Amino acid sequence: MYYDEPNTSYNGHSSYSNGNGVSQPTQQGWHSDDSFVPPTPEEPKKKRRKNGNGRLVALCICAALLGSVLGGGGAYLLMRGQVDGAVQQALEAAENHNTVTPNNTGSSVSSVQTTDLSSMIEQVSPAIVAIQAQGTSQSSFFGNGATTVSSGSGVIIRSDGIIVTSAHVIEGTDNITVYLKDGTTYKATVVGSDSKSDLAVLKIDASGLTAVSIGDSTQTKVGEPAIVIGNPLGELNGSVTIGYISALERTITVDGHVLTVMQTDASINPGNSGGALLNSNGELIGIVCAKSSAIEVEGLGFAIPMHIASDTIEQLLNYGYVKDRPYIGISFQQMQNRTDNAGIYIVQIANNSPAQAAGLQIGDRIVSVNGKQVSESTDIDQILQSCSIGQTIPLVVERNGQQVNVSVTLAETPQQ
């Protein structure tokens, strides 16, 4: 089980959103070239010992050189047998150690080709912001009028104040404050938000800001360095953690929505959501979205790759919502603790929606969608992703103990 922002509070109560507009109490738990050099033919014992000493000296020199450039990771590479490639990289890095060139436009950070991570981070970190959002909860569980507070991170992608963050950081809020690295604060407006992709775009009234360079996340490989910058715990803005890309194209479920993500072992904590996952060139390759919080789990963080996020961000900028997604017009909730009729229940139906036109009712238990049985809330999203706008699909629901067949014509998602 994954969680995103347990830092959100309702009158002091920790909570999370289930993605359907229903707040629930937080549940604990869940966020080389290897070169091989064949041995030389057998030599006399004395000569072999002499050459062995020479190799040892060379390895020590190379390890020291590599360590000065890459830190402890250099020695680790040597221990793994990546001697030839690592030494060559160290020699090249030593020759180009001070090749960082600041972007002179003052509006964005170009790719930083350097092994000096501190210089890269110094240039990029002004593009990462802290976010605090407040709103009023209408949940009867906590009582009307309860104040919600959510903290997260964001990434400046345009110098005129366009910021990308996670949708769950701002969901249900109406008072959003952005904190720059230098302490400057701005009130933000929501350009668009999409809970299914867990992405949102904000705008602050500013110009000449430092913006990140967007990297090609399709070229990311397992084992590459991963740098995370964000606002862990909602009060440590600009925190940097470094690890590696652990896996690509993982599928996880966050707030009832299925996300395809990259996995990293760089430390991620509550408040990092919406922050940056960067490669060693300082390019944005992912938006941090979740971590595994199981007690026995460590080093499992996730980010939405930019090649997946980019289309959603573009649509949010252009339309304020994701336009080309099939829409039924229902909110549903999974009932897991019922031994009699566990399943997916409709809890809300939008006015003038396909669901309303088809005669669906609140309280209907969804049995199947487009001929496929559903038992998890994520099943419905996955089925709809394979459908198209204007397509008529069959639904089977259980109502008053009897199965009812309905046909729903999918519409385009309306602007919210």
Q: Give first-to-last CA distance, the chain, whole Å.
A: 29
With a CB cutoff of 8 Å and minimum separation 6, the contacts of 153 are 128, 129, 130, 131, 165, 169, 229, 230, 231, 271, 272, 273, 274, 275, 276, 288
Structure tokens, 211: 């913006």
Q: What phi and psi values does residue 172 have, to the nearest 5 degrees? A: 75, 15
Q: What phi and psi values does residue 211 have, to the nearest 5 degrees? A: -120, 150
Instruction: Work out the number of other CB atoms within 10 angstroms of the CB of residue 350.
Output: 15
Active-site positions? 168, 198, 273
With a CB cutoff of 8 Å and minimum separation 6, the contacts of 165 are 131, 152, 153, 154, 155, 199, 200, 201, 202, 273, 274, 287
Q: What phi and psi values does residue 305 have, to the nearest 5 degrees? A: -65, 145
Q: What phi and psi values does residue 272 have, to the nearest 5 degrees? A: -75, -20
Element (H, E) at 331: strand 330-335
Strands 283-292 and 213-214: parallel
Torsion of CA 401, 405, 411, 415, to 10 degrees: -10
Structure tokens, 269: 């904590």
In 3-state terms, what secondary structure has residue 60? Answer: helix
Task: Please return the burial class of 324, using the count of CB atoms within 10 Å of its CB with bins 0-12, 13-18 and 19+.
Answer: exposed
Element (H, E) at 203: strand 199-204
**Amino acid (one-letter) located at 163:** I
Q: How far apart are CA 265 and CA 301, in angstroms?
A: 6
